[in-house]
Amino acid sequence: MLAVLTPGQGAQTPGMLTTWLSLTGVEEQLAGYSAITGLDLIRLGTTADADEIKDTAIAQPLIVALGLVAAAQLDLLPLSAPATAVLPGSAFRPGGASRHGHSAPLGIAHHPGAPRNSRLAALPPVAHRPGTAATPGASPAFAPAPTFAPSPKSGPPTKSGPPTKSGPSSKSGPARRAGLAHRLGAHASLDPDRVVVAGHSVGELTAAAVAGALTPGDAVAFAARRGAQMAAACSSAPTGMAAVLGGDPQSVLAAIEAAGLTAANRNGAGQIVAAGPLDALARLADNPPPRARVRLLPVAGAFHTAHMRSAEEALAGLAAALPTADPTRLLLSNADGAAVRRGHAVTDRLARQVTRPVRWDLCQQTLADLGVSAAIELAPAGALTALARRQLPGVELLAVTSPGELDQARRLIAARTQPGPIGPTGQVVDLHVAVAPTKGVFTRATTAVEGRTLTRGTQVGTIHTNRDEHPIVAPFTGVLAEWLRRDGDIVGAGLPVARLTSATED
């Protein structure tokens, strides 16, 4: 199984779009994103300095835009997408007028920069302080918001070598055997059973587009609104964030709570980010947990905490207005590492995400449990690859930091999309897994027997929660080859419970 990872704020660097603009279609794609956000993303990604692009209202759409550029170059964007709707300008300024003093055009527009098979909306410019987006040399309205800190033992955030024999630590070994790539037709997107997508913080918008839940245009537009609202929320109180590196995780969490702070990012690899009032952060830095060190981060506020409540309230209506489709690929939520199966669930989480901690540690655990054998981090890449290097040993990693890594990324994708094993009569055997739609206690269906053929949609089992029962169905017609879970097992959302095979003449 291949993982596609998309980074969050803090991954931006000056000039990060420069080398990408030489590729066919990229300038038009970015021009389209600029039109719908009201930001000159091309200028911001080429000539703007570090201080300007650290503005939360700028960094977030810029990061999502570049991730989608890389995804398009790798043919990772789905071939079809839901229609794009206009995000209501009234959520930012009455009547949809921008702070630059002009009214925004309304209605859906076919823009020449639109990614293939999507429709970009002509949206109101992002409302934040004048001059922060389009005036060269202007000071940013707000401070930066990186939520990654360098891991003390991690190397440069690039790519690793081939997988080792150790493999990721996981109790679902059969799932790794099931994680074989599915044969693709010409110009087809990757088999959804073979790809899992996850994004850190605002990177979840990029991930939602790659998974087919949002159009690329809507993902960038919402990122711009999200960044503007989070930046505005920072002005309500003096708050910030600090990285706690090393130490025993439980001791670190206890110290953060005792200081009156929130563990806003739990990134794994010995890295937890605390957030809250500046005086409480100072006390934590003066009295760090045992065997840990605290490094204050130059950010504008306490992201992913209750201090972003005003941003959540403002974004709730925008999220509800977004048209969505059910993800066509396995999409993990960074709130809990669980799979998000329905389009409405994606948008429900988008607004709430700004006040909820990022649990990247749980996302990485799900990747290990799924048997991921390779992971590609889309540009602006590096931070997630560095974390995965420590948490997912044996997984082949590639950070797509520039167009120079695209060919290697294509080879890695192709290696995971080869035909399955050859059956006894010379046919190609394709392997698929049936996965749990939510976390709960698993029970096998009495009619599902190993060795028997199950038609698509046949119930394979049931997940029991405290309130409901959720059926698990066969994703396609095939033979039930192997059970991966026993009756009574507690299974996480998105994790496999059974392996099915199909055979087609080669």
pLDDT of 193: 58
Mean pLDDT of all residues belonging to the chain: 78
As given in the structure block, the two tokens for residue 445 are 């269906």
100 a catalytic residue:
no
309 sits in which H/E element: helix 309-321
Classify burial at 185, counting beta carbons within 10 Å of its beta carbon; exposed 0-12, middle 13-18, buried 19 or more: exposed
Identity (one letter) of the amino acid at 11?
A: A
CATH tag for 2-139+157-232+307-414 (out of 2.60.200.20, 3.40.50.300, 3.40.50.970, 3.40.366.10): 3.40.366.10
**CATH topology of 2-139+157-232+307-414 equal to that of 428-504?**
no
Give the pLDDT mean for 477-500.
88
Give 8-22 as a 3 state SS string.
Answer: CCCCCCCCCCHHHHH
pLDDT of 434: 85
Q: Phi first, then psi: what are they for 51, rounded to 5°?
A: -65, -40
Domain 428-504 bears CATH identifier 2.40.50.100: yes
Domain ranges for the chain, please list them: 2-139+157-232+307-414, 233-302, 428-504
Read off the pLDDT band of 403 (50, 70, 90): very high
Read off the pLDDT band of 192 (50, 70, 90): low
304 a catalytic residue:
yes
The size of the chain, in residues, is 506
CB 447 within 8 A of CB 412: no
Q: Which of 118, 151, 172, 201 is catalytic?
A: 201
Identity (one letter) of the amino acid at 165?
A: K
Q: Which of 143, 145, 115, 157 is nearest to 31 (CA)?
A: 115
Q: Which of 372, 397, 365 is nearest to 155 (CA)?
A: 397
Q: Please provide the CATH number assigned to the domain covering 233-302.
A: 3.30.70.250
Whole-model pTM: value is 0.70
pLDDT tens-digit profile of 232-283?
999 888 999 999 999 999 999 999 999 999 999 999 989 999 999 999 999 9
pLDDT tens-digit profile of 108-132?
233 333 333 333 333 333 333 323 3
pLDDT tens-digit profile of 34-92?
999 999 999 999 999 999 998 999 999 999 999 999 999 999 997 544 434 445 432 32
Give the pLDDT mean for 392-411.
95
Q: Which of 182, 200, 304, 432 is catalytic?
A: 304
Q: In percent, how much of the chain has pLDDT > 90?
A: 57
